[in-house]
Structure 1
Amino acid sequence: MEQSNVGKLFEGKTFNNFKILPATENAYNDCLDFCTNYIPKCRGLRLHGRYGCGKTHLAAAILNNLLKQNIPSMMIVTANLFDCIKQGFNDKEKALIATELVNKAKQVDVLILDDFGAEKDRDSNGNLKMVGSWERENLFLLINTRYENNLTTIITTNYNMQELFELFGERIMSRIAEMTISVGMKGAENYRIRLAQVV
């Protein structure tokens, strides 16, 4: 678990404590089937839906399930990965940490990139702008290494495929399209807001 990079909040997230709703039932079943039928170098998943619908819970449930099967896996928020790399620009110690993290992400059997596309930006009209060239280049190096080695990659995102192409470009997204199977959670409610309202 310490090597998996999962945050403390998600260590206890499992399929058993995921609240299944009509809008999330298919996604739940797809994720559970992925773990049950996992084979090395299989296609990953692309979990997409609105904020707070349970994508990260399901991703963490996959991670925790795979770890119990002794399958080397890790999970990282995409923006945190970029931040870790940037912190190493002027700090040798942090640069070593970033290099170790990136190398691990490139090589681990199953990589989960959470909140993919959170680096988004919008123009003055509210339209999506492509993610910066530095982020795209670093992400390409990671994705392409995993693509060439046929390693399983899972992403969670709030965006549909067309929006992801606008954000990251064809070079990255054509690979992700081939590497992952779409798992939609369309129509699912924002569970975090619902919990806050109950409290």
Structure 2
Amino acid sequence: MKGILSQDMADRIERLRASTKHQALENSATKNSQDSYNCPHCKDTGDIWVDTWTLKECTHCNVRKMQDIQRKVKAAQITDEFKSKTFKSFDVSDRPEPIKQAKRVAQAYVLAFQQIRKNKQNSIALMGNPGCGKTHLLAAVSNNLLDEGVEVFYFPWVEGMKELTSADFEQKQEIIQRMQKCEVLFLDDLFKGRGKPTDYQFETAWAVLNYRYLNNLPILVSTERSISDLLDIDEAMGSRIAEVTKDYKAVINGSREEMNYRLKDEV
């Protein structure tokens, strides 16, 4: 069979075989015996040679899936602290009802995600007081989606806008396009601040949100702004956010002393 292959194709196959063999050797460097591989069939490479020239994905393990999840976690710029945010670690036993309701909404969103992800109402918004756990809950949502192999891109609004402002044109375009096209976008603390966003902040938000709205791409939004506030900033943008988060929205309002867990032992 090798005789009917072009030299270029034969060279490519040899390089692939060498690469796979190298990966298996790297994996084996930390193994004590054949039995210590997670998958003895592919030796944790994710691939099996069927014959001399045919390579196929290993069906005995989920190496490829785990590698894909790890790649997506890294690409999302998610920190170890972020990964520690789970629903289990979000204790609501002594928290007010609006916060308990926000947790229920976040959990319901995760359960429904695969069924609604292509719909217009496929997003979630947690809105209201600072310090009430909005970021924690949406980080828990993100971590659950990442565990399912769904790409999530985390964009903390204040820090992200500072990075965009100082970036060159090509970097700006790369970040904005990633925000537009990723599977799920997590906008944390959208329009944080007392005043209206700057023209550049609004134009960036509009470019991203309108693209995702037109293409039915989900967003996770935490913000201290209300829907009314967002409509005042721009009615078209505010109404889009209201529409896509219609089925999964929680508003957490109340006194600072009651809602802000950071002040629990201070007031």
Residue in structure 1 matched with residue 131 of structure 2 by the alignment? 52
Residue in structure 1 matched with residue 178 of structure 2 by the alignment? 104
Q: How far, CA to CA, are the matches of 2:79 and 2:141 in structure 1?
A: 14
Matched, 1:64 2:136: no
Matched, 1:37 2:104: no
| Total equivalences in the alignment | 183
- Secondary structure of the corresponding residue to residue 38 of structure 1: helix
Relative to the length of structure 1, the TM-score reads: 0.84
Matched, 1:132 2:198: yes
Task: Find 2:234's aligned residue among 156, 160, 169.
Answer: 169
| Structure 2 residue identity aligned to 1:49 | G
Larger Rg, first or second structure (1 or 2):
2
Deviation at 1:108, TM superposition (A): 1.2
Q: How far, CA to CA, are the matches of 1:184 and 1:162 in structure 2?
A: 12
Residue in structure 2 matched with residue 157 of structure 1 by the alignment? 223
Task: Find 2:103's aligned residue among 17, 24, 28.
Answer: 28
| Structure 2 residue identity aligned to 1:186 | N
Q: How far, CA to CA, are the matches of 2:90 and 2:173 in structure 1?
A: 34
Describe the superposition over 1:139-195 as per-residue Cα deviations: whole angstroms up to 9, x where unpaired: 1111111011010112111121112222x3112112111111321222352112226
Q: How far, CA to CA, are the matches of 1:74 and 1:120 in structure 2?
A: 26
What stretches of structure 2 of length at least 5 have no aligned partner?
1-72
Deviation at 1:119, TM superposition (A): 4.3
| Structure 2 residue identity aligned to 1:136 | F
- Cα distance, 1:41–1:84 mapped onto 2, change above 3 Å: farther
* More RCO (CA 8 Å, sep 6+): 1
Give structure 1 regions of 4+ aligned residues with deviation exceeding 6 angstroms: none
Structure 1 range deviating more: 186-195 or 174-183: 186-195
Q: How far, CA to CA, are the matches of 1:101 and 1:146 in structure 2?
A: 14
Residue in structure 2 matched with residue 189 of structure 1 by the alignment? 259
Deviation at 1:53, TM superposition (A): 0.3
Task: Find 2:157's aligned residue among 75, 78, 88.
Answer: 78
Describe the superposition over 1:59-96 as per-residue Cα deviations: whole angstroms up to 9, x where unpaired: 1000001000111112211222322221124xxxxx44
- Secondary structure of the corresponding residue to residue 14 of structure 1: coil
| Structure 1 residue identity aligned to 2:78 | V
- Secondary structure of the corresponding residue to residue 37 of structure 1: helix
**1:86-101 to 2 correspondences below 5 Å:** 86-89=165-168, 95-101=169-175
| Structure 1 residue identity aligned to 2:118 | K
Deviation at 1:113, TM superposition (A): 0.5
